Amino acid sequence: MRAAEPLLSLQGASKSYTLGSNVIRALQAVDLALVRGEIPAVTGPSGSGKSTLLNLCGLLDTADEGELLFDGEPLPRGDEARRTSLRRQAIGFVFQGFNLVPVMTAHDNIDYPLYLLGIPAAERRQRVTEALARVGLAELGAHRPDQLSGGQRQRVAIARAIVKRPRLVIADEPTANLDAQTAAQIIALMRALAHDDGTTFLVATHDERVLPHCDRALMLDDGVLKGACHAH
């Protein structure tokens, strides 16, 4: 992939939902290009379309109109096999509520995506150990989520997202439940991963503390994407 070519781009993407007798226009003709190794932040009030945008970029949903390209190749709405394959192998997810399995250790939570991909056990152990070290939790792999702090749980969630070496990580309010110092550490961790691996992080946030550490801020208002100003 040429450095200048977007990893993922939306061109004229629109999405509507029907709620009772009302049609909600969640996204309206959105154009967005995500490049390798950048961290754009998507901001906007509740109901502005942030979740819909994340779902489209994470290949969890499809637009009603417009086109999505991954690595410069169009991804047709009906090609579910390719969409599923890309989602499993090339995209990681980090959620506000961590979404860790309570009865599994940190190690096993991180291992699970690799298990689903059919990666051999020896390689899985090596990659989980490496991921734990990269998020600063090398000594805590045997701990369950209830034995970890909120910041540590979010680090496990990030390790789970990056362990399959994705090209894109979708992070939905990753600092919402964290204190200021821990939030700063989480953003610094994502910056380091973006720099070292070329991973792109698309971050949806209400957290003003996050914006100075992102490459640009995208504002959604009633489904319209406004501005792609650089945050620094």
Q: Does residue 44 fall inside a structural domain?
A: yes
d(CA 22, CA 103): 42
What is the DSSP code string of 106-161? HHHHHHHHHHHTT--HHHHHHHHHHHHHHTT-TT-TT--GGGS-HHHHHHHHHHHH
User: How many domains are contained in the chain?
Assistant: 1
Q: Does residue 12 fall inside a structural domain?
A: no
Q: Does residue 185 fall inside a structural domain?
A: yes
Q: Does residue 4 fall inside a structural domain?
A: no
Q: Does residue 182 fall inside a structural domain?
A: yes
Q: Does residue 19 fall inside a structural domain?
A: no
SS3 91: strand
Domain that includes residue 142, residue range: 36-65+79-230
Whichever domain contains 216, its CATH number is 3.40.50.300
pLDDT in tens, the chain (232 residues): 445 689 999 999 999 999 888 988 899 999 999 999 999 999 998 888 899 999 999 999 999 999 999 999 998 888 889 999 999 889 999 988 888 999 999 999 999 999 999 999 999 999 999 999 999 999 999 999 999 999 999 999 999 999 999 999 999 998 888 888 888 888 889 999 899 999 999 999 988 888 888 899 999 998 999 865 444 4
Q: Does residue 86 fall inside a structural domain?
A: yes
Q: Does residue 26 fall inside a structural domain?
A: no
